[in-house]
Amino acid sequence: MEACSSAHHWGRELTALGHDVRLIPPIYVKPYVKRGKSDAIDAEAICEAVTRPTMRFVAIKTVEQQALLSLHRARSLLVRQRTQLINGLRGMAAEFGVYIARGLARVIGFSEDILMGELLDLPEIANEVIHNLCEHLMALRTRIRWYENRLKLVAKEDARVRLLRTIPGVGAVTASAIIASIGDGHQFSKGREFAASC
């Protein structure tokens, strides 16, 4: 099967029924698509790709790996939203001549001041909009902290994550992301293969 959003679930289900399931990254299937896009054409391309002796496959993730990945994906989504919100807030304030210094800590400080009652010398509606955006930023900050604390808790419980954290520069988030993504790592015959997959 092509490794798509539900492929790991179906891979586990079909394996439980006794089938030998192989997941192929979509990028490896694409060269074998001869024309257009349809389910039949994709199936033909997958059949062609799987016959290649050097084809590489994706290991089927366990339910636990996917649960851990859901933490990482949700956190990543909120971090991207926070970045968009900060850029929007800084841009909007700049249109009124209000400069918010770069850096998360400075924007958080600005937001805390606004939420404590500081009013800018702006029209009432602009102050309301900026106040609402600051409230939203602080709510996102709380949610992101929840995800980070949950990841740290998982990191304490998993011996593999603790082992990876002994590498200088590898923290709880990175170590748990590696474990969630590759599992036991037996699909790699050497470290170079793991590095290439990253």
Residues 21 and 70 occupy one common structural domain: no
What's the pLDDT at 80?
97
Residues 98 and 34 occupy one common structural domain: no
Q: Is residue 57 part of a domain?
A: no
The pTM assigned to this predicted structure is 0.79
What's the pLDDT at 152?
87
Domain span at 38: 7-50
Contacts of 1 (CB under 8 A, 6+ apart): 7, 10, 11, 21, 22, 23, 24, 46
Contacts of 56 (CB under 8 A, 6+ apart): 25, 28
Per DSSP, the three-state class of 166 is coil
Residues 12 and 88 occupy one common structural domain: no
Q: Is residue 127 part of a domain?
A: yes
What's the pLDDT at 138?
96
Q: Is residue 185 part of a domain?
A: yes
d(C-alpha 52, C-alpha 136), whole Å: 51
Residues 44 and 71 occupy one common structural domain: no
Q: Is residue 175 part of a domain?
A: yes
What's the pLDDT at 104?
92
Q: Is residue 40 part of a domain?
A: yes
Residues 106 and 36 occupy one common structural domain: no
Residues 109 and 178 occupy one common structural domain: yes
Residues 126 and 96 occupy one common structural domain: yes
Residue/partner pairs of 141-149 with CB below 8 Å, 24 or more apart: 141/82, 141/108, 143/78, 144/75, 144/78, 144/79, 144/82, 147/71, 147/74, 147/75, 147/78, 148/75, 148/173
Q: Is residue 58 part of a domain?
A: no
Q: Is residue 2 part of a domain?
A: no
Residues 34 and 97 occupy one common structural domain: no
Residues 40 and 75 occupy one common structural domain: no
Residue 103 near residue 90 (C-beta atoms within 8 A): no
Count of the separate structural domains present in the chain: 2
pLDDT along the chain (198 residues), means of 10: 87 92 87 83 86 84 88 94 95 92 92 89 91 96 94 86 89 86 78 78
What's the pLDDT at 58?
81
What's the pLDDT at 16?
94
Residues 184 and 95 occupy one common structural domain: yes
Q: Is residue 70 part of a domain?
A: yes
Residues 46 and 123 occupy one common structural domain: no
d(C-alpha 133, C-alpha 152), whole Å: 28
**Is the Cα dihedral 116, 121, 122, 125 positive or negative?**
positive
**Among candidates 18, 109, 119, 8, which has minimal Cα distance to 59?**
8
Residues 43 and 74 occupy one common structural domain: no
